[in-house]
Structure 1
Amino acid sequence: ENEKDHPEVAPSQFELNYKYADVINAADQIQLYKLMARQVAENMDCTACFLPKPLTDINGSGMHTNISISKKEKNIFYNKSNPKTISKEGLDFTERILGNANEICLVLNSSVNSYRRLDPNYEAPNKIKYSHSDRTSMVRLPIGNEHSTRIEVRSVAPDTNPYLLIYTLLRTGLEGEKEKKDSKKRVRTKTLPSNIYDAIRVFKSSDFTTELLGEEAKERYLELKETAANRSPKELGKTIKKSEVLYHHEITNQYLWNKF
């Protein structure tokens, strides 16, 4: 169910929002939205593009992912004693995601092109922190009521696999290790990888991602991402490379989508 949609900052860029749903239905709706957008665009002699950064020098496109968890039909992220803040359960969930942000970045940003979007010059959420309003934060904590309190993971690219994405965020938020902090050291804000090669390296060396996906699935996923990465120049530069588009899975799947 569509809640609202409106034009965004970049030319011909639109934000689409649908009503919350359980995990599988939410992922299904993402795929259905893309399919419908492509069909409507084609009927209008246009193209619906889900590349994270189809054009340089303007804001890219993201897929902000909102999550809340209910227990006995109660939103456990809601803080009844102080509605302007999230509950301890919600904060713990958020900190586990942030503590493993670099390791799971390849799932949230799975294409070469998606790392162009993580450019801090264009309001990109590349900083590994949470905030109520800072657009550069990876996670936003919106102020809400008993039903709408949630966390918003803003660093997700629109071309990621929604099923793998939601699974990864839930497992990480529930089971991941929180970053150990040393009160004697100055806190420095870390940032997400700026290119797919760094994301692959961290993902590959992570024991957590092996536990998350299993060794066989992880190796297969890495193989696909390394193949895509090796088809593009290591330095992204200031122009969108043909290989970023030609070998992008959103493009190679276009033929199949058009069969529906």
Structure 2
Amino acid sequence: MSSEFRNFLELSYEELEDLNLQAKEQRKKRVAADVIQEERLKYLADTPGIKAVTVLFSDLEGRLHMLDYDKKFLIKSYDNLTFDGSSIRGFTAQRESDLRLGLDWSAFYWTPADVFGSGKVLVFGEVIDKNGGHYSGDLRGVLKSFATEQFEKNGYTLNAANEIEGFLFDGIDAERTFHETGKFEYVNQGGYYHSLPGDPLREFIDTTAEVQRAMGFENEKDHPEVAPSQFEINYSYGDVVAAADQIQLYKLICRQVATQMGMTASFLPKPVTGVNGSGMHTNVSITNKSGKNLFWDPKGEEKVSKFAWGFVDKILTHGNDLCLLLNASVNAYRRLDPHFEAPNQIKASATDRGSMVRIPIGNEKSARVEVRSVGPDANPYMVLYSIFKSGLQGNTSKIKNLRQAERYLPDNIYTALEDFRNAEWTTELLGEDVKARYADLKQASADRCARLLGTIVKPSEIQFHHDVYNQLLWGQF
């Protein structure tokens, strides 16, 4: 269609970065919600080039959902945005389907027009139940409430940054067509840090990094990973809810850029056997109201504090309980293979990358704990909520030599499901209702796939993976 008569908002990448960093700073400073809401509504009303607001929210498995509201409608009706929750996997039953979307105006993003379309902005939504409270199946709301509680009660700011690995495969919708082709095609045969300027993987990484920079990610470094066609694009720390939002945006940006290049960005944990899988190493720390990093102690073991080691001990105690939350798919258990630097040992170490928890080299600013046993397809809100709540409020086992005891994470989803269902701690984390819904979703996916993983990736573990859900594929079961 001709664009001759259109005049929709299109900003330069430099202008986008300035706007998104300003919004990020407001979020860091915890500017009052009503102040930001008033500012955003005024901006929308005063900017004629904006045609629609894209609202994002995630379902129980972490699948990102997006819907566009006409700007003029949203300005008038932002406090009454209803939707059918029964259509969202893991949400309400059909008989109690009405839910609302509240808008988290602090989580507002300006987007590049060449990637997301002109005249649009993004904002994250919060799912509200019929009684007006946070909906228990919306883990973003659960995480936000927990983080707010920790700040108000203890003065804690929960910080996180994630190292998210993925693969770039040839062709659009390579995951959706895997059941027909039975294979993924690499676009690059290089390895760690090896990609020539101008090759498809390097162009993809460069373009994605530019989009992230424009959206205020504050990039740090990017590079090809160990496996062929594998990538990692790192960005800076953020408060825990912003960090989880950025995981969702990171995967969205990667997929969108890849599609525009005629390729597929895949976040399956182990799409190809025989090469390294993809992880989502999750770095966490806690600061107090004066900005002091509570995980740092220059005289402590590995230069982290007793508080940090107590946090680690609780994570190790609940390692098996949490495994299904951190490794959420059948395919994820292929990655937990000790032959490929897989973090399948329930240990803590400064050097051993096979340990579930690693203590990276740090300083007063960067001291942190790295939880390595996280798949990139897990629900990021669930991951960060379960890590922080477990580390702060979980139990500490009396196992002798807890940090180095010979214990291993499950190597299949059925064992992980059993551990999850039997754990009292996961009931305390999620509540009985949400825990049961999540377990039922994972059980259904597991039962559609081969019980024994074997050495070949099966079409079913791709076809029934939650990230490639659609009625046509799942209807073939």
Flag whether TM exceeds 0.5 (same fold): yes
Partner of 1:85: 303
Q: Quick check: 1:230 aligned with 2:447?
A: yes
1:1-260 residue pairs with structure 2 within 5 A?
Answer: 1=217, 2-72=219-289, 73-82=291-300, 84-182=302-400, 188-252=405-469
* Partner secondary structure for residue 315 of structure 2: helix
* Partner secondary structure for residue 468 of structure 2: helix
Distance in 2, Cα, partners of 1:252 & 1:5? 29
* Partner secondary structure for residue 112 of structure 1: coil
Higher RCO structure (Cα 8 Å, ≥6 apart): 1
Between structure 1 and structure 2, the one with the greater Rg is 2
- What code does the residue aligned with 2:320 have? N
User: Shift in Å at residue 80 of structure 1?
Assistant: 3.3
Distance in 1, Cα, partners of 2:317 & 2:469? 34
Distance in 1, Cα, partners of 2:334 & 2:324? 14
User: Shift in Å at residue 83 of structure 1?
Assistant: 8.2
Larger displacement relative to structure 2 (76-85 or 8-17): 76-85
Contact (CA 8 Å) 2:343, 2:354: kept in 1 or not? yes
In structure 2, runs of 5+ residues without a counterpart are: 1-216, 473-477
User: Shift in Å at residue 8 of structure 1?
Assistant: 0.8
Name the Cα RMSD after superposition. Answer: 1.6
Contact (CA 8 Å) 2:347, 2:405: kept in 1 or not? no
- What code does the residue aligned with 1:113 have? N
Deviations 1:26-81 (A, max 9, x none): 00000000011011101111100000000001100000000000112111000033
* Partner secondary structure for residue 90 of structure 1: helix
Partner of 1:258: none
Deviations 1:72-123 (A, max 9, x none): 2111000033484210000000110001000010000000000000000111
Contact (CA 8 Å) 1:53, 1:116: kept in 2 or not? yes
Distance in 1, Cα, partners of 2:469 & 2:233? 24
The percentage of counterpart residues that share the same residue type is 55
* Partner secondary structure for residue 303 of structure 2: coil
Contact (CA 8 Å) 2:462, 2:468: kept in 1 or not? yes
Distance in 2, Cα, partners of 1:81 & 1:59? 36
Distance in 1, Cα, partners of 2:395 & 2:427? 14
Higher strand share: 2
Deviations 1:183-214 (A, max 9, x none): 7x9x7410000000000001000111001100
Runs of 4+ in 1 over 4 A off after TM superposition: none
- What code does the residue aligned with 1:180 have? K
- What code does the residue aligned with 1:19 have? S
User: Shift in Å at residue 16 of structure 1?
Assistant: 1.8
Distance in 2, Cα, partners of 1:226 & 1:83? 41
Deviations 1:110-137 (A, max 9, x none): 0000000000011100000011111101
Distance in 2, Cα, partners of 1:16 & 1:101? 27
Contact (CA 8 Å) 1:84, 1:144: kept in 2 or not? no
Distance in 1, Cα, partners of 2:241 & 2:405? 37
- What code does the residue aligned with 1:140 have? R
Q: TM-score, normalised by structure 1?
A: 0.94
Contact (CA 8 Å) 1:66, 1:150: kept in 2 or not? yes
Contact (CA 8 Å) 1:83, 1:145: kept in 2 or not? no
